[in-house]
Amino acid sequence: MTRVDFYLLSDTADSAKETATCRLTQKAFGRGHRVFILARDAAQAGRLDQLLWTFQQGSFIPHALSEPAPDPLPPVIVSTQAPPDEFHDVLISLAADVPEWFSRFERVAEVVSGSDEDKLNARSRFRFYRDRGYALQTHNL
pLDDT in tens, 2-11: 999 999 999 9
Rounded to 10 deg, the angle between the 14-30 and 42-54 helix axes is 60
* pLDDT (0 to 100) of residue 52: 92
Residues 6+ apart with CB under 8 A from 18: 44, 47, 48, 51, 94
pLDDT of 114 strictly over 90: yes
Q: Give the CATH number for residue 103.
A: 3.40.50.10110
pLDDT of 13 strictly over 90: no
pLDDT of 58 strictly over 80: no
Of the two residues 60 and 105, the one the predictor is more confident about is: 105
Q: What is the DSSP string of 52-102?
A: HHHSSTT----EEESSSPPSSPPSEEEESSPPPTT--SEEEE-SSS--TTG
Assign 59 a pLDDT band (cuts: 50, 70, 90).
confident
Q: Are 122 and 72 in contact (CB under 8 A)?
A: no
pLDDT of 27 strictly over 80: yes
Per the structure, the complete domain to which residue 91 belongs is given by 3-140
Assign 54 a pLDDT band (cuts: 50, 70, 90).
confident
Q: Are 77 and 66 in contact (CB under 8 A)?
A: yes
Assign 57 a pLDDT band (cuts: 50, 70, 90).
confident
Residues of the chain with pLDDT > 90, as a percent, come to: 78
Q: Is 24 left (phi over 0), alpha (psi -120 to 50) or beta?
A: alpha
Q: Which of 56, 39, 141, 55 is nearest to 91 (CA)?
A: 39
**Average predicted confidence (pLDDT) for the chain:** 93
Specify the number of domains making up the chain: 1
